[in-house]
Amino acid sequence: MKSPDNVLLGIALILLAGVILYNVFTAEPTVEPSVVPSTSALSTTSSVTEVVTTTPEVTLSSAKVNINTASAEELMSLTGIGPTKAQAIVDYRTNFGNFTSIDQLTNVSGIGEKTLAKIRDDITV
């Protein structure tokens, strides 16, 4: 027979995680694979079953692209900037020096107000 602590722990797992079922008859955790993220793992010690959840490293591109230092590849990460426009930005910067304002991008061939409006929040000088 299982100790009351193990039964309570099983119930707690169900209530807290909502996706983990604990079989009190076999003392084995059962995980619903279609619901539990792949980063969840179960670790069993001699008297306690605990859920160990790790958070995957997520790289969100929240950093702005500096139009004075970005490579053509980095510039292509911007909405509406393909290889031709990215190279035009690099060429403009090479020929005329660094941008002093974001609005100067409209001086680059192929970049107008609409393109600038799409990328304005994602760039910096």
**Spatial distance between the Cα atoms of 43 and 53, rounded to a whole number of angstroms:** 10
Residue among 50, 115, 123 nearest 85 (CA): 115
The DSSP bridge partners found for residue 43 are 50
Side chain identity at residue 36, one-letter code: V
Q: In this structure, are residues 66 and 123 in contact, taking their beta carbons and an 8 Å threshold?
A: yes
CA separation, residue 96 to residues 53, 63, 100, 106, 110 (Å): 52, 25, 11, 14, 16
Determine the average pLDDT of the residues in 97-115. Answer: 95
Tell me where in the chain the CATH 1.10.150.320 domain(s) lie: 65-124
CA separation, residue 65 to residues 68, 87, 123 (Å): 9, 15, 5
Res 75 pLDDT > 60: yes
Q: Which band of pLDDT confidence, cut at 50, 70 and 90, is reported for residue 63?
A: confident
Determine the average pLDDT of the residues in 65-84. Answer: 96
Query: What CATH number belongs to 65-124?
Result: 1.10.150.320
Instruction: Say what percent of the chain tops pLDDT 70.
Output: 50
Please give the helix or strand (H or E) that residue 43 lies within, else none.
strand 40-44
pLDDT in tens, 3-38: 555 655 565 545 445 444 445 555 555 554 444 444
pTM above 0.85, yes or no: no
Q: Which two tokens stand for residue 48?
A: 């306690």
Determine the average pLDDT of the residues in 74-87. Answer: 96
Average pLDDT, the chain: 73
